[in-house]
Structure 1
């Protein structure tokens, strides 16, 4: 009974985290209306978050320090760089070319990427059910994009490719966090990984940009602060907590709520809409992930 309660709490926490993360795409699109570059917007998002991650890391020590090896800290640096720096950077770049709703649909393939990466590096077995789910998922993505492919080929392919890279790097982070969280604990692992990511973004600005950061309108800074708190700090801990309770694969599957959440938010705040064929494509993607979810529950 206690285990069932923990699983239920983990699911609820994961759902809230997914919804908050999905709101990021809408805030990014709103900020782009004020002519801010993707690099500066990402810099603001992580710079406003960094002091909180530092403070939390200082007051929270790893939960199982005796299990931590020196190489584990190197893995945290790697996953902080890949999972939140590269994933966020690719995502912000891609959102310059495609709508927020479509961005979420492409990112929605990351649960299948988690399964593939787990098979390659952790030797987890991929079942026939999972292979079918992967095929269904990508068919859904193709259907979703088919109409726009004929309208904006160059921008759509570029934007879609960047978002797919974001999904791939985020999936890599999820797989890695699944076996590091038990050693460091949810709070310490998340804080360390996000500090690494934030420092990477700041280094990128100092090394390659150094443009003026004070000339943007007040709306940009306000949106960046909202993004930092509600679509970065809070959901990063929620997702890590859920991974600790449910495992990376199950949390990735719950990420299926992301596209639906973003589509609804984009409808209200951006005035975006999806065509019927895009809705059908999204439904097929959801069907593919649902089949993975069902199989995972059966194995549990």
Structure 2
């Protein structure tokens, strides 16, 4: 009983810490943009600094069930690494050039609703009445939040919102499509392989656009890139995996609503970002809708 309580306590700590660290990524990206760096170079720094760690993990931890893994499975890893981490990250970094960090996290937070919709479209999984209601509630919240933002700013917010929406969509596609591969490889191994593919895609993209030329930036940019790689990529990815292992996916989903809230709080202190009462109302609606979907999925 004591061991079970201890595992639950550590799981809660891992969940909260992992979610907060993931949320800090958007704030660090916005801080780096103040030094006039483009999204592709910044993304290269983030993934490049994390790359050696994922490479070591990939060599250290072998797949859980190597005998059942086929060449086709590795080809699927190439595809999901491209979609789930390369495209999702690229759209995210592009969107943050036009959008507040807090609003970015609110849009990304809707990916569970996309998982439900994609699972219904591709795998004919039934959507319950409660899930349908939750999805409607979620997108009403998004509409409320961005209607107010567009009214206060120029239309570049719409571009930023669309790019972040695409980031959430590609990440949801990755989750839906890769679910059957993870039991074969293991969570840590699969994540490492996918991140390696993603980093190689980003490196190739950078070389095609900029060649081998890498501009010199202030030390703060490299520090932020390293911080994103370690504290908002590598560490939280394993904390979240450990939390899910101790708490279960359904219990972990309860803590997911901390993501938008923690990003808004961090953005307020580090970026001096303000969010209106109308947007807070919209955020609460989004959190309620996503929590309803996540809770129903996990039950």
Asked if TM exceeds 0.5, the reply is yes
Q: Which whole-Å CA distance do the structure 2 matches of 1:81 and 1:248 have between them?
A: 25
Question: Is contact 1:42–1:201 with CA below 8 Å preserved after alignment?
Answer: yes
- Corresponding position of 1:269: 270
Q: Which whole-Å CA distance do the structure 2 matches of 1:10 and 1:120 have between them?
A: 33
Question: Is contact 1:25–1:262 with CA below 8 Å preserved after alignment?
Answer: yes
- Corresponding position of 2:72: 71
- Corresponding position of 1:154: 155
Question: Is contact 1:178–1:244 with CA below 8 Å preserved after alignment?
Answer: no
Give the unaligned 5+ runs of structure 2. Answer: none
- Corresponding position of 2:164: 163
Q: Which whole-Å CA distance do the structure 2 matches of 1:26 and 1:291 have between them?
A: 27
Question: Is contact 1:186–1:241 with CA below 8 Å preserved after alignment?
Answer: no
- Corresponding position of 1:192: 193
How large is the Cα RMSD of the aligned pairs?
A: 2.4
Question: Is contact 1:178–1:248 with CA below 8 Å preserved after alignment?
Answer: no
Pairing of 1:1-300 with structure 2 (within 5 A): 12-210=13-211, 212-241=213-242, 254-297=255-298, 299=299
Deviations 1:236-255 (A, max 9, x none): 23344556677778766643
Displaced runs of 4+ in structure 1, greater than 4 A? 1-12, 240-254
Question: Is contact 1:111–1:171 with CA below 8 Å preserved after alignment?
Answer: yes
TM-score (norm 2): 0.91
Give the number of equivalent residue pairs: 298
Deviation at 1:182, TM superposition (A): 1.2
Question: Is contact 1:119–1:125 with CA below 8 Å preserved after alignment?
Answer: yes
Question: Is contact 1:177–1:248 with CA below 8 Å preserved after alignment?
Answer: no
Q: Which whole-Å CA distance do the structure 2 matches of 1:145 and 1:124 have between them?
A: 30
Q: Which whole-Å CA distance do the structure 2 matches of 1:292 and 1:23 have between them?
A: 25
Q: Which whole-Å CA distance do the structure 1 matches of 2:88 and 2:212 have between them?
A: 23
Deviation at 1:20, TM superposition (A): 1.4
Cα gap change, 1:247 to 1:122, in 2 (>3 Å): farther
Cα gap change, 1:243 to 1:84, in 2 (>3 Å): farther
